[in-house]
Structure 1
């Protein structure tokens, strides 16, 4: 038997860990502390998840000290703070423990790069409906104004001719197309045409022999037979069972034949005449 130190005496000395080290080892981890506090509060993981809106999987991971699902230190610290308040414990010691275990508190993000990123981020703009509506309204107003202006010119021309004024040569009015228009100027009616005038109707032929004139013709019911400009050399013939009413804008340019007989009235140039003829007219011809 050897004489010397016993195995107990040959054991290595303690590693010299301080009381602070023992306290550090005895202090539970962040996840363990949150789990113990939750159980002490009588709460389930579902209860904590519903109260904090932190997903159940993340709550389980944090209680297992797995902070990877949090997506970074900033989010992990936020979850720790939220869960600590939900289980009624002070989050400050847990945050300090997390910082010690993960290399210290993360440095704050400089504000300037964030503002710069916001400034250079392209802004998505939708269609400018207000500008489109304004443009459409302007187009409609312009079209209505142009139409009214053109219509006003036509009405003024017709009115001036009806009152005996000479129509402007730069804006001749277009005659209304009619099936009775002839391609060539009509000459005075022949004897056969005069003889062919029906006896049971009133027949009026209007010819523009000395110029153009605006004319209007209506039947005995007031129905419009013609309303327009008769150019020089053109003729119109109207028939009715009892009566034809005429308005001549420039009576001096018109030659009339009523029931096959020429009307010898001395109409003055530029004069406006209102005439009515029946089946028995003209009495003198």
Structure 2
């Protein structure tokens, strides 16, 4: 115990986590012991400097929610050489455990209604066709006796056929089939994650425990991972992510707002 502690700090602990220093203080001390600056930790983890500083002061209000707070704690702990499991457990105990799925529903409903498929521009096609017809009629009335003018009239009328393919090209592209998702090699495990129902924090490790990727997968984006034996995933918002294993889509691994841990091997697509 350091000199000058207040009487409140010297009181006996009333719970399993109250005798531990705060999560932010542990991360800050570990960073200092590792000889790292806040800027260096921010660059290594891609967590913005103001958020790193707030977390080290045990202020998690800037993280954007418990799911992202856990992800930031995990990333900062690994950057300074700590095991994140104990810090995540302490954070859950101090902040009421895992988040419920219900509060996240309004956000993901708003994200779901945002995309709108483009419709064919029939107005532009009709205008182009009318212009071509008027040009052809005008040429016939004022230059019909000129034999050399016939090819010109045909050339002017030709664009009337072009708007239809152009307008139809503006329609929504067909969805790829499961077999076209990935030509997965038979001697490896390939996992593709697609955010289709909002943002999700994700983490991926290979069979040796090496971190392959960690960060936020934004709505509409995807990430693909390949390993010789096994891929371990953590999905911060499992209901927002579609999972394709070895070229095949698997069943949803969780609900919106749920944090799920799954593993896949070469023998899947059965969920690991």
Mark yes or no: TM-score above 0.5: no
State the structure with bigger RCO (CA 8 A, min sep 6), 1 or 2: 2
Larger Rg: 1
TM range (shorter): 0.3 to 0.5
TM-score by length of 1: 0.39
